[in-house]
Structure formats: structure tokens, C-alpha cells
């Protein structure tokens, strides 16, 4: 085995740890949202507003990520954000009211957003060493973490494990994984463009010294950003409201209400581990279109089926369909013509947060007035719109090409 392949394999493991830790961190709370809602005396709208603080924190922090990546590298930024995420998570259990819960989610969202952009940037760099698509598999590892976090949360709720103990243990695991990832990451500066070319109008020295051009990348990535918003809404609606929907609309007990999210996360994992080969064969645009339609069908099944098992199956379909969306979009933003990779993934991560910001309170307001099922129609509409607009990804649909920056890491 060559030295380069050894470095690349270790870096792939490091990125995998980052994705798993990030997936576990926030999803482990989701099965316990009914408990948090009851303990704090919150309405659906109030809970939605508190959860919306997370994307609000991301919107404030993510624009700094491109500049941080340019200065210190994507992996150190991802590791640092992971440490913040792990140390902050237990504070959710200690929140005495709405304000403290929202403030905690504000910090969690900032750390999650920075980690999301940075680990994807590093993942795209590692992908170049393998000369084939890996990004779906990396997001599949995120789904492993998400499914594990949800299963842990569901089991903790069923066994009545104190929320403080539950979140402290998970937070410690996130910290440990982040520290382990730091040891195996790729060294050296990140390439500014994964196609191996400097951004238009800049020479390599200026690009290395000039910091991030995040705002300049917003315009060329406008359609990718809109697709990021549309892709995020179906995922976020299922993430946030599946447990409450099954508990309130399907009268599921606490030990089973989290099953919808667990199945949703598990189906995303399966989809992402198989999507790289499918994408290489069919192309990103086709995968995006079909995935959006499958997610739309899943929402229809959740809402139409009168049975608990049918609704759970619908959440599985949503996960299968929407799973390739963000890996596809991160690949597109990291390979968009004339846009530096770190800036591209930062823009996508930042713009997509607008959907995460607006969706929880909107769904919460609809749920309070017309039921959670009515709120889920927001996810269905966004999935359909994503499928219809998927053709806008064509300019960056080419498979990854090897980069000297990565081969020589």
C-alpha cells in the first residue's frame, strides 16, 4: 500500500468520524421532544420557534467558515466545531424554560452549521484521492450517526433514562470522536478549487492569501442554494415532527413514537450507501429528480395511511428519496465552475439554513391550528418542487476528477 493511499484511507476514516458524530449529536434529542415539550409547558408553535434558533445560529456562523477554511484548513474547523457541539449538547437537558432552550439551540446550530460546511469541504478533498464519488457514502455515515442517535434517544425515552444522563453521555462521545478525527485528517492547506484551477480573476498566490470570497459565490450558486432550501425542508420536517405526529395523530406510546424518525434515518443511511454507484451510472440530475418524487410519494403515504405502520413506512420512503439530495448538492457546490470549493460548500450550507429557520415555526403554527398532519404538507410540496427543478444541477454534474492537492497530501 502506498503512502498516499494510507494517508487517504486514514483521512477517509477521520471524515467518517466527523459525519457520524455530527449525525448523532442533534438527532438523539428528537425522540425526546414530546417530553421536553411537556416538561417546559410549550405549545407546538413555541417548540418550533425554539428549534428554529438552531438554523438562526447557523446563519450567523456559517459565513465565517469559508474564511476559516482558507486560513487554517477544513479539518481543524470541523474538529473545533465538533468539540463545541459535544460540550453544548447536555445543556438542552438543563434548560429551565423556553429562553434557555432557544439559546442552547442557537449555539448548537452555530456549531452544527460550521461543522457541516467544513466536514463536507474536507470530504470532497478526500474524495479526490479516490477518483470516484464518495460523498453519498460520507452522508450515509451521517445517517448511521443519525439513526444511532435516534435509537439511543428512543431507548432512553422508553427506559426513562434521565435526559441529563442521556445527553451528557452522547456529548462525551461526540467530543471523543472529534478528537480522534483530528489525528487522521489530511494535512496541509485545502485546495481552493477541486478542479485544480484558481477562481476566475485570481492567481494562486492571491487565492491563498486573500481569504474567502463567500459572498461572490452566492450569485453563481443561486439555483443550488434554492435547491438546498427545498431539499432541507422535507428532511427537516421529518426530522422534527415525525415523533410528534406519531404520538399525537397516531396515538403511539413514547416507546414507539420515535420509531418513525428511526426508520426515516435508517432508510436515509441505506439510500446514501447505495447512491454513489447509482449516481455514477445515472447522473446527479436523474438521481435528484427521482429522489424528490420518491420523497413526495412518502409524504403522501404518511398522510393518507390510517395506520401507524403505514405512516412509519411512509417515513421510510421519505428517507430513501431525500437522502441523496444534500450529497448531490454539496458535490455540485464544491465543483461549480469558477467557484472555490470551500466557498461553494459554505454558500450551500448557509443558504440551506434559511429553510431550516423558517420551517419549524411555520409547521408549528399550522400544527396548532390544523394539526401536525397539515403541517407535513409543507415537506411534501418542497420535495415535489425539488424534483421539478433538479435540472439546474447540470453545470456541475460531472464525476469527480483527481486533484494534485489531494494526491500529494
Q: Which three cell numbers stand for residue 248?
A: 399525537
> How many domains does the chain divide into?
1
CA distance 94 to 39: 11
- Angle at the Cα of 360 from the Cα atoms of 358 and 361, rounded to 5 degrees: 75
Q: Which three cell numbers stand for residue 290?
A: 427521482
| Domain presence at residue 404 | no
| Domain presence at residue 405 | no
CA distance 217 to 203: 17
pLDDT computed for residue 215 by the predictor: 65
| Domain presence at residue 331 | yes
Of 134, 135, 156, 148, nearest in space to 177 by CA: 148
135-158 helix and 98-130 helix, angle to the nearest 10 degrees = 150
CATH number at residue 381: 1.20.1250.20
**Please, which pLDDT band fits residue 405 given cuts at 50, 70 and 90?**
very low
341-370 helix and 98-130 helix, angle to the nearest 10 degrees = 140
| Domain presence at residue 407 | no
Q: Which three cell numbers stand for residue 386?
A: 425539488
| Domain presence at residue 339 | yes
Parent domain of 263: 3-187+207-398
pLDDT-above-70 percentage for the chain:
88
Considering only 18-22, 52-56, 279-283, which range has the smallest mean pLDDT?
279-283
Given a contact cutoff of 8 angstroms between Cβ atoms, the answer to whether 351 and 298 are in contact is no
| Domain presence at residue 199 | no
Instruction: Please give the residue that has the higher pLDDT: either 198 or 302.
Output: 302
pLDDT tens digits, residue range 215-274? 677 778 889 999 999 999 999 999 888 988 898 888 777 678 878 888 898 898 899 888
21 pLDDT exceeds 90?
Answer: yes
pLDDT computed for residue 397 by the predictor: 60
| Domain presence at residue 113 | yes
Q: What is the model's pTM?
A: 0.72
Amino acid at each position: 500500500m502506498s503512502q498516499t493511499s494510507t494517508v487517504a484511507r486514514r483521512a477517509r476514516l477521520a471524515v467518517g468520524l466527523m459525519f457520524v458524530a455530527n449525525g448523532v449529536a442533534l438527532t438523539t434529542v428528537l425522540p425526546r421532544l414530546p417530553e421536553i415539550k411537556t416538561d417546559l409547558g410549550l405549545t407546538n408553535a413555541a417548540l418550533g420557534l425554539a428549534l428554529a434558533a438552531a438554523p438562526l445560529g447557523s446563519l450567523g456562523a456559517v459565513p465565517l467558515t469559508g474564511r476559516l477554511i482558507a486560513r487554517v484548513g477544513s479539518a481543524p474547523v470541523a474538529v473545533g466545531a465538533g468539540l463545541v457541539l459535544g460540550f453544548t449538547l447536555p445543556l438542552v437537558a438543563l434548560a429551565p424554560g423556553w429562553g434557555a432552550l432557544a439559546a442552547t439551540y442557537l449555539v448548537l446550530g452555530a456549531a452544527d452549521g460550521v461543522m457541516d460546511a467544513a466536514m463536507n469541504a474536507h470530504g470532497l478533498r478526500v474524495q479526490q484521492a479516490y477518483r470516484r464519488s464518495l460523498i453519498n457514502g460520507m452522508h450515509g455515515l451521517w445517517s448511521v450517526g443519525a439513526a444511532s442517535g435516534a435509537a439511543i434517544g428512543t431507548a432512553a425515552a422508553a427506559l426513562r433514562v434521565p435526559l441529563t444522563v442521556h445527553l451528557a453521555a452522547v456529548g462525551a462521545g461526540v467530543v471523543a470522536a472529534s478528537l480522534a478525527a483530528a489525528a487522521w485528517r489530511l494535512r496541509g492547506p485545502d485546495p481552493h478549487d477541486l478542479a485544480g484551477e484558481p477562481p476566475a480573476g485570481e492567481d494562486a498566490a492571491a487565492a491563498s492569501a486573500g481569504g474567502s470570497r463567500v459572498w461572490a459565490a452566492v450569485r453563481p450558486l443561486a439555483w443550488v442554494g434554492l435547491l438546498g432550501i427545498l431539499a432541507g425542508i422535507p428532511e427537516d420536517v421529518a426530522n422534527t415532527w415525525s415523533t410528534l405526529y406519531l404520538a399525537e395523530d397516531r396515538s403511539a406510546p413514547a416507546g414507539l413514537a420515535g420509531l418513525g424518525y428511526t426508520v426515516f434515518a435508517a432508510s436515509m443511511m441505506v439510500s446514501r450507501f447505495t447512491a454513489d454507484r447509482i449516481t455514477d451510472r445515472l447522473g446527479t440530475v436523474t438521481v435528484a429528480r427521482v429522489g424528490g418524487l420518491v420523497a413526495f410519494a412518502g409524504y403522501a403515504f404518511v398522510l393518507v395511511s390510517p395506520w401507524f405502520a403505514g405512516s412509519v413506512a411512509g417515513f421510510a420512503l421519505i428517507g430513501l428519496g431525500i437522502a441523496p439530495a444534500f450529497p448531490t448538492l454539496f458535490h455540485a457546490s464544491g465543483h461549480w465552475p469558477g467557484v472555490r470549493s470551500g466557498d461553494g460548500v459554505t454558500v450551500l450550507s448557509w443558504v440551506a439554513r434559511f429553510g431550516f429557520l423558517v420551517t419549524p415555526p411555520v409547521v408549528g403554527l399550522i400544527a396548532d391550528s390544523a394539526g401536525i398532519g397539515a403541517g407535513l404538507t409543507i415537506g411534501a410540496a418542497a420535495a415535489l418542487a425539488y424534483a421539478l427543478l433538479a435540472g439546474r444541477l447540470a453545470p456541475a454534474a460531472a464525476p469527480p476528477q483527481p486533484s494534485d492537492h489531494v494526491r500529494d497530501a
